[in-house]
Amino acid sequence: MKSVFISGSFNVIHPGHQRLLKFAKKCGDELIVGVLSDKIAGTAAHITEKLRLEGVKSNNYVDKAIIINSSVNEVLDELKPDIVIKGKEHEARFNIELETINNYGGSLIFSSGETLFSSADILHKEFQMTINKDILLPEGYCSRHKISNKRLKEIISQFNQIKVLTIGDLIVDEYIECQPLGMSQEDPSLVVTPIEREKFVGGAGIVSAHGAGLGASSFLYSISGDDELSKYAKDKLEKYGVNTTLLRDENRPTTLKKRYRSKNKTLLKVSKLYQGSINKNLSKLLVKNISEQMKDTNLIIFSDFNYGCLSNETIEEISLLAKKKNIILIADSQSSSQIGDVTKFKSMDLITPTEIEARISMKNNQDGLVVLTESLRKKSLSKNILLKLGTDGLLIHAYNSDEKKFETDRLGTFNKSPIDVAGAGDSMLVSCGLALASGANIFEAALIGSLAASIQVSRVGNTPLKSKEILKVIN
């Protein structure tokens, strides 16, 4: 294992330190930082050594931090790090450490780190930023369906009473923030350099994570490869509070989707995946695991990306078992780079296709939205349909049990300036499902789902929703 060493006073970790620490971490496997003690630092120490040490230890790039009470040379002679890094401003000066480093066979490198830190810093802010100050409840819609703020809060407060099982394709999303360098001189292609990478759990994984974040008792059942991405996803999901069962398929990798981004725009998407169906033994094991967990379950979510986890037979078996126990069933079958058919999910309480997915399933490019949705309802036998219309919002096609007829209504988009729309459908799916399981009608559930989606698209990458985020918007 290659060790890297940096030393200094570190009164406050400022952007220059961040660049240096980031560069140092990339140079080896373990980054050790020596913080000069109050005695050694003298007047250069503006706060106590204890607080300075805590500040360094809290930095994500640092593996180990120590207080230096003797000369730096003594520390280097004891630790013998493979690489010692100092700021670029020291390169033209006398460096007392050089002789010690040469004696034990180490290397001294001068660098102040990447000068492109600001773009990476912006990326980190995007990952954490939500914009909800402009989200307002639609008065007309709420009036038509007699929905009050108090009622919405009552529904959301019941989420922690729900046990939800999510079944479907696990995906790991990787975002690579890039700095554009210009156009290639050889051909008309864009040249970029990667600055920062960040991974997120996606697919059925983020649906289950949203469930846990919103307060429900959340279980995930999926298929993964026998690889490091599978371990990453399982560890991440368990940190989110998801009870995770991943059945290993040695014939496929864990699905990885990479997005190369620059300045809030996606430049390129690259996917590593296998779309073949899982074998019958894995399908049987999947159904067995789920059937054993159905006790006290209120909601089952099929999160289908058409990568082989959910065959028609698997869906049918799970659905029959769930209906015997009066468990609410909802489904989403995505068709973007792949082709799916949401009508393979029969007699669901709710399906949530996009307009394109509905037209693919019905082979219908001619009819209007209401006619299209009614045709889809008849074929799928679904009780309710939320037709996602992108920037045009949502078409709700719902069964009115009192009047024995179907009603249609619309909801517009609440977030007019989305940053990353990739997770909108997943957040809507689970929020609507939890609302239905908590006693909401479909119009109340659709409103809660739309609010959840508006929050999700205001940040980069899939991070689990929290009930308090939706409640904050309602207030």
pLDDT at 128: 47
pLDDT category, 20, cuts 50, 70, 90? confident
Helices (H) and strands (E) in the chain, counts: 17, 18
pLDDT category, 391, cuts 50, 70, 90? confident
pLDDT at 2: 93
Three-class DSSP labels, 133-199: CCCCCCHHHHHHCCCCHHHHHHHHHCHHHCEEEEEECEEEEEEEEEEEEEECCCCCCEEEEEEEEEE
pLDDT at 15: 64
pLDDT at 250: 86
Which uninterrupted H or E stretch holds 404? none
pLDDT at 5: 96
Backbone angles phi, psi at 144, to 5 degrees: -60, -35
Segment among 67-81, 219-233, 334-348, 353-367 with least mean pLDDT: 334-348
Give CA angle at 280 (252, 227), nearest 5°: 20
Mean pLDDT of 447-464: 86
What are the tens digits of pLDDT across the range 138-161?
889 999 999 999 999 999 999 999
pLDDT at 117: 40
pLDDT category, 399, cuts 50, 70, 90? confident
In the chain, pLDDT over 90 holds for what percent of residues?
60
Backbone angles phi, psi at 66, to 5 degrees: -135, 155
In the chain, pLDDT over 70 holds for what percent of residues?
93
pLDDT value at 113 more than 70: no
Mean pLDDT of 85-96: 83
Query: From residue 229, how far is each of 20, 207, 302 by CA, in Å?
Result: 29, 18, 22
Most confident residue range from 257-266, 275-284, 310-319? 310-319
pLDDT at 112: 63
Segment among 84-93, 97-106, 132-141, 281-290 with least mean pLDDT: 132-141
pLDDT category, 276, cuts 50, 70, 90? confident
Q: What is the pTM of this model?
A: 0.71
pLDDT at 395: 93
Among 219, 241, 213, 242, which residue's Cα sits nearest to residue 466?
A: 213
Segment among 187-201, 298-312, 375-389 with least mean pLDDT: 187-201
What are the tens digits of pLDDT across the range 224-270?
999 999 999 999 999 999 999 999 998 899 999 999 988 778 888 99
Report how far residue 293's alpha carbon sits from residue 304's, in angstroms, rounded to the nearest whole number: 20
Mean pLDDT of 445-464: 87
Report how far residue 48's alpha carbon sits from residue 55's, in angstroms, rounded to the nearest whole number: 11
pLDDT at 337: 56
Report how far residue 310's alpha carbon sits from residue 344's, in angstroms, rounded to the nearest whole number: 10
Q: Is the dihedral of CA 356, 462, 19, 6 positive or negative?
A: negative
Mean pLDDT of 269-278: 87
Asked if residues 34 and 75 have their Cβ atoms less than 8 Å apart, the reply is: yes
Give the three-state DSSP class for 87. Answer: coil
